[in-house]
Amino acid sequence: MLLDYHMHTRLTDGTKEPVDYARVATERGLNEICFTDHAPLGNRDTEWTLTLANLETYVGWVYEAQRQFPNLTIKLGLEVDFFSDRLDWIHELSGLYPWDYILGSVHFIGDWPVDRHADDWKDQNLDERWQKYFDLWQQAAHSKLFDSLAHPDLPKKFCFRPKVFDYRPALRAVQKGGCAIEVSTAGLRKPCREIYPAEEFLRLARQMEIPITFGSDAHIPEDTGADFDKAVALARRCGYDKLARFTQRRRDLVPLG
Ligand SMILES: [Zn+2]
Ligand SMILES: [Zn+2]
């Protein structure tokens, strides 16, 4: 089976509406999709997140897509930024609607954006930045607030990588926290031109029996399910033969591909 568990609408930094993504998913033969628009951050408004005021519109759009595409399974989810001082907010948000899936992500180290501009990375201590990012990622895993963690090695986006990096502490946190990790084809469309996470990372995850979800991180309908053949090939090379699927936050596993 093929499931795309990561997509955005025009209410945030995406384009179009859930029905438009559902149409492409149907054409491409996907079995299931899950919308994961950017959740409100709680204490600050941004241009790229939902607001509390339009959260209901978002949920209504997803339900409308379910009505229009009865042969495609469409799930209701959110992508939620992890901030260690906002755990109560994330908890509250999780109770507002009957979400199927909460995808956690780290886009910020404090106020410093990890994935906005390549220039932000110039003259940075790469070992230190990567360590800080994965420290937060580890905390997100430990929090048990998330079903899966998005684009695991996002700091590689602009090709600023340390020569070596030990992913094992981060993966042990995921294993202990009991969540899944995302295999994201978005990296293929970014300067790094590589799926998130790297093969080395995914092999370790497989050894630790950490489940995976698939996501295109589509911001336009045309990217729904993009490059999933490459994601399937990578996952299989690393030893995976199943994908995680979520219904009302409960996980089960389905055959991959
Ligand atoms: Zn993200
Ligand atoms: Zn996203």
Ligand nearest to C-alpha 37: 2
Q: What is the pLDDT at residue 156?
A: 98
Q: Where are the alpha helices (DSSP H) in 70-194?
A: 87-94, 126-142, 168-177
Spacing, Cα 203 to ligand 1 middle (Å)? 22
Tokens (6 digits) for 254: 């389905």
Question: In whole angstroms, what is the distance from residue 171 CA to residue 53 CA?
Answer: 36
Compute how many other C-beta atoms are within 10 angstroms of the C-beta atom of residue 158.
18
Q: What is the DSSP string of 11-40?
A: TTTS-S-HHHHHHHHHHTT-SEEEEEEEPP
Question: Distance from CA of residue 74 to its chain's centroid?
Answer: 16
Characterize the bridge pairing of strands 101-105 and 108-109.
Answer: unpaired
How far does the centroid of ligand 2 lie from the alpha carbon of residue 7, in Å? 6
Centroid of ligand 1 to alpha carbon of 81 (angstroms): 8
Contacts of 40 (CB under 8 A, 6+ apart): 49, 50, 51, 52, 55, 93
Question: At a CB cut-off of 8 Å and minimum separation 6, what does 149 contact?
Answer: 103, 104, 105, 137, 140, 141, 174, 179, 180, 181, 182
- CA gap 89, 106 in Å, rounded: 16
Q: What is the pLDDT of residue 47?
A: 84
- The predicted pLDDT at position 40 comes to 93
Q: Looking at residue 1, what is its pLDDT?
A: 96
The backbone region for 20, taken as left when phi is positive above 0, alpha when psi lies in -120 to 50, beta otherwise, is alpha
pLDDT digits (tens, 9 = 90+) for 58-70: 999 999 999 999 9
Distance from the CA of 35 to the center of ligand 2, in angstroms? 10
Name the stretches of the chain with pLDDT < 70: 44-45
Position 42 scores a pLDDT of: 78
Q: Which ligand is nearest to the CA of 35?
A: 2
Q: Which ligand is nearest to the CA of 12?
A: 2
Domains and CATH numbers, the chain: 3-255 (3.20.20.140)
Q: What integer pLDDT is reported at residue 46 of this predicted model?
A: 81
Task: Read off the pLDDT of residues 159-183 as tens digits, 9 standing for 90 and up.
Answer: 999 999 999 999 999 999 999 999 9
pTM of the model: 0.97
Q: What token pair was written down for 109?
A: 């180290």
